[in-house]
């Protein structure tokens, strides 16, 4: 394997490891260290295995262990291991005579003081030079191994050592020291080993089962383990616990000593079954995942359980119960699953968005062509409501396509919406769905508005209307006998709060905690359970938040928090003038309905339009004639919009090319100049936007 391939593998390993769960990583390191001691009795062999485990499990690239030699008065190398050693052909040769006397070396300072030293970047804190050094680190950690020596860890790139990370490494150093002490005791060299000056046990140790190891090193290792551990006698009763049990259970240790661990289980029968299986099993080990345990306050939590039968010299001496709290890992797993659901939703939405946007474009185009001819104000008002609903529908599809995006584009202009206007729009748009239905059955819904003056929020108007529509319809569903829905806004500094309250049936804590989860619904079959999840996502994207307050029978209040916005002054919507110049335009669109609509919109403004549904014919006309501007759909059979754009630019690099597509959400923030596209317009688009875009380009 050459150096280049090895370096690529190293970088790949480092990148993958940097994404790992820190807690899970240290649990794995400690478990593997303990397993190594049970196999290796030679201290130098065990130390090398310790280092190999650390290199495999962490982002460090080189490591070494040095023990204090009192005869020569210096720290001497016992073992060294690096990432390169995993590639056998390029194994690094470490200095076997590496040692540190008293002086400025960080290794000696960490050992003599008993305090770990962490250097995140040698550029900020230079490292002392080591003569003939093989490793030149950028980041360094020197961790005392009790009063035996020091563990050195280094990397060729800067490292961030958080408080939690430092504490974890200090724990590893202590555990490693106790394991080495145990090995020296087992080899008969314990008398020559300085006794570690460490704090006594927590005072909760009790008589261990006959035959169970009683040396201090095993006791200290037991207390340092992050999992909850109970030592049981042959009857399955607790005789010893470690500190993690108190942390996990929130329970005083003496209260459970002498009792069965079944008291920790929500269903005590589960432990009885595990104990029976461990007793009868030849392997003497049983495991069970995702078990519900109960802490001292009565709250349940998920845990993985391991029960091991302890045998010493063919003599059964008891059991070891290991409890690993999975609450954080389970929460992390749930977030991953939720992200996968959202990604799947975006994929499904993308598959239908193109066709759906074409339908909306047809509706919008006809409405905007009809509106100038309508004089009846009531008909105009209803057509304008339909027009607004089309825009909202288009934004819904766009959001579903980009559903997994958590942050709003920082470069985008900050939108401003009048809360009062948005509430009025939502009430008007949803009125046919609830007013007639409720009044027909003799029930009424009273909509009340208490909106503070100048309530302007930094959010897209369509997004806010969607959120309020979801909340209003949910409130109405929660009031089957009728009731009152109240919209109330108020300002707190730079924050604007909008409350949507109902007098309905309310909900309990279990439901309210899951109300924003994707696909969660209490309405049965026929409801997607996405309304509130989408609402939460929309508000979060603008830096806001949504909270719910509810009690069964007491109604529900949703509180929306948004950034307050200042009114936009002097901003006028530019509309194309009647007397604009006439240009020769090419329009390519495979959907006849959309083709005719766009053609009519352009011709009504005086443009000369060549409208084609055949991509191959369009290429021929581009080659044969001259056009001032080309508009083309993206997804078409045989010839795509990309090919139309390339051919138009090849004929005349100065001719503007506009792409009109139902997939616009995927290209909104993308520079498409390299593909020959000057402007991307998403369907459905308004008459004004189409004409303004053309005027700007021409």
- The string of pLDDT tens digits covering residues 317-343 is 888 898 988 877 776 666 666 656 655
Residue 488 has pLDDT above 90, yes or no: yes
Of 180-189, 291-300, 608-617, the one with minimum mean pLDDT is 180-189
Please give the pLDDT value at position 5. 38
Average pLDDT of the segment spanning 128-138: 70
Of 277-281, 361-365, 404-408, 557-561, the one with minimum mean pLDDT is 404-408
Q: Which residue has the higher pLDDT, 336 or 233?
A: 233
Of 193-207, 410-424, 471-485, 668-682, the one with minimum mean pLDDT is 193-207
Tens-place pLDDT, residues 635-683:
787 888 889 999 999 999 999 999 887 765 556 556 677 788 888 887 7
Residue 287 has pLDDT above 70, yes or no: yes
Please give the pLDDT value at position 181. 78
Please give the pLDDT value at position 31. 72
* Closest among 392, 389, 368, 391 to 380, alpha carbons compared: 368
**HSE value, Cβ hemisphere, 13 Å, CA-based, for 166:** 12
Please give the pLDDT value at position 336. 61
Average pLDDT of the segment spanning 564-581: 54
Confidence of residue 352 (pLDDT cuts 50, 70, 90): low
* CA 534 – CA 201 distance, rounded (Å): 52
The tokens 């509180």 sit on which residue? Answer: 559
Q: Which residue has the higher pLDDT, 253 or 643?
A: 643
Please give the pLDDT value at position 408. 45
CATH fold of the domain at 216-325 = Beta-Lactamase (3.30.450)
Q: Are 63 and 81 in contact (CB under 8 A)?
A: yes
584-697 and 341-563 share a CATH fold: no
What does CATH list as the number for 584-697?
Answer: 3.40.50.2300
Average pLDDT of the segment spanning 70-89: 78
| Three-class SS of 466-490 | HHHHHHHHHHHHCCCCCEEEEEEEE
Confidence of residue 445 (pLDDT cuts 50, 70, 90): confident
Per DSSP, the chain holds a count of helices (H) and strands (E) of 18, 23
Q: Which residue has the higher pLDDT, 122 or 7?
A: 122
Please give the pLDDT value at position 196. 36
Q: Which residue has the higher pLDDT, 196 or 297?
A: 297
Residue 199 has pLDDT above 90, yes or no: no
Residue 689 has pLDDT above 60, yes or no: yes
* CA 664 – CA 361 distance, rounded (Å): 13
Question: Model-level pTM?
Answer: 0.35
CATH fold of the domain at 3-192 = Beta-Lactamase (3.30.450)
Q: Are 91 and 127 in contact (CB under 8 A)?
A: no
In the chain, the largest separation of any two C-alpha atoms, in whole Å, equals 106
Give the start-to-end residue ranges of the domains of the chain. Answer: 3-192, 216-325, 341-563, 584-697
Helix (H, G, I), strand (E, B) or coil at 323: strand
Cα of 29 vs its chain's centroid, Å: 25
Q: Are 291 and 303 in contact (CB under 8 A)?
A: yes
Q: Which residue has the higher pLDDT, 239 or 296?
A: 239
CATH architecture, domain defined by 341-563: 2-Layer Sandwich (3.30)
Residue 147 has pLDDT above 60, yes or no: yes
Q: What is the mean pLDDT of the chain?
A: 76
């Amino acid at each position: 394997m050459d150096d280049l391939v090895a370096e690529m593998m190293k970088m790949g390993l480092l990148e993958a490891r940097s994404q790992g769960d820190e807690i899970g990583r240290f649990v794995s390191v400690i478990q593997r260290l303990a397993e190594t001691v049970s196999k290796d009795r030679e201290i130098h062999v065990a130390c090398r295995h310790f280092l190999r485990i650390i290199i495999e499990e962490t982002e460090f690239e080189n490591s070494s262990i040095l023990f204090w030699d009192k005869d020569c008065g210096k720290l001497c190398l016992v073992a060294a291991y690096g990432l390169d050693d995993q590639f056998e052909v390029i194994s690094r040769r470490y200095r076997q005579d590496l040692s540190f006397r008293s002086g400025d070396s960080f290794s000696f300072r960490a050992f003599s003081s008993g305090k770990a030293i962490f250097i995140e970047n040698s550029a900020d804190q230079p490292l002392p030079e080591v003569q003939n050094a093989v490793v030149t680190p950028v980041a360094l950690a020197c961790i005392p191994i009790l009063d035996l020596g020091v563990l050195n860890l280094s990397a060729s790139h800067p490292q961030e050592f958080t408080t939690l990370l430092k504490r974890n490494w200090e724990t590893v150093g202590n555990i490693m020291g106790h394991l080495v002490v145990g090995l020296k005791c087992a080899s008969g060299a314990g008398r020559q080993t300085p006794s570690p000056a460490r704090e006594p046990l927590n005072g909760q140790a009790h008589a261990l089962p006959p035959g169970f190891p009683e040396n201090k090193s095993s006791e200290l290792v037991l207390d340092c383990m992050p999992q909850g551990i109970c030592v049981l006698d042959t009857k399955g009763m607790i005789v010893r616990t470690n500190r993690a049990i108190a942390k996990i259970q929130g329970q005083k240790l003496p209260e459970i000593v002498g009792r069965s661990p079944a008291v920790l289980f929500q269903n005590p029968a589960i432990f009885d079954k595990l104990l029976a299986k461990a007793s009868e099993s030849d392997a003497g080990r049983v495991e069970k995942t995702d078990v519900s345990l109960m802490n001292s306050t009565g709250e349940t939590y998920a845990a993985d359980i391991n029960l091991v039968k302890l045998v010493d010299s063919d003599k059964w001496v008891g059991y070891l119960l290991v409890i690993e709290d999975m609450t954080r890992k389970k929460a992390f797993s749930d977030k991953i699953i939720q992200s996968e659901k959202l990604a799947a939703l975006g994929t499904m939405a993308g598959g239908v968005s193109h066709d759906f946007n074409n339908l909306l474009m047809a509706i919008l185009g006809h409405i905007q062509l009809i509106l100038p001819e309508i004089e009846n104000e009531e008909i105009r008002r209803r057509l304008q409501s339909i027009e607004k609903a089309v825009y909202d529908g288009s934004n819904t599809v766009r959001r579903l396509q980009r559903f997994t995006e958590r942050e709003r584009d920082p470069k985008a202009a900050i939108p401003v919406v009048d809360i009062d206007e948005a509430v009025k729009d939502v009430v008007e748009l949803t009125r046919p769905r609830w007013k007639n239905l409720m009044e027909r059955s003799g029930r009424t819904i009273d909509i009340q508005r208490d909106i503070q003056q100048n309530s302007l929020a930094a959010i897209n108007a369509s997004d806010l209307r969607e959120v309020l529509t979801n909340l209003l319809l949910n409130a109405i569903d929660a009031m089957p006998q009728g009731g009152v829905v109240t919209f109330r806004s108020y300002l707190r500094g730079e924050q604007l709060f909008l409350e949507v309250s109902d007098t309905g049936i309310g909900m309990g804590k279990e439901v309210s905690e899951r109300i924003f989860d994707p696909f969660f619904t209490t309405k049965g079959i026929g409801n997607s359970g996405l309304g509130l999840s989408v609402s939460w996502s929309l508000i979060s994207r603008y830096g806001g938040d949504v909270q719910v307050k509810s009690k069964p029978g007491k109604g529900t209040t949703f509180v929306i928090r948004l950034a307050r916005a200042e009114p936009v002054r002097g901003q006028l919507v530019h509309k194309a003038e009647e007397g604009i110049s006439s240009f020769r335009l090419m329009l390519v669109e495979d959907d006849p309905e959309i083709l005719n609509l766009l053609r009519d919109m352009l011709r009504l403004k005086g443009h000369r339009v060549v409208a084609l549904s055949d991509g191959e014919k369009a290429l021929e006309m581009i080659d044969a004639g001259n056009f001032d501007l080309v508009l083309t759909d993206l997804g078409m059979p045989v010839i795509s919009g990309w090919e139309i754009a390339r051919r138009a630019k090849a004929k005349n690099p100065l001719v503007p090319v506009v792409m009109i597509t139902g997939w616009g959400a995927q290209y909104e923030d993308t520079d498409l100049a390299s593909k020959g596209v000057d402007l991307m317009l998403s369907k459905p688009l308004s008459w004004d936007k189409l004409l303004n875009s053309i005027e700007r380009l021409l």
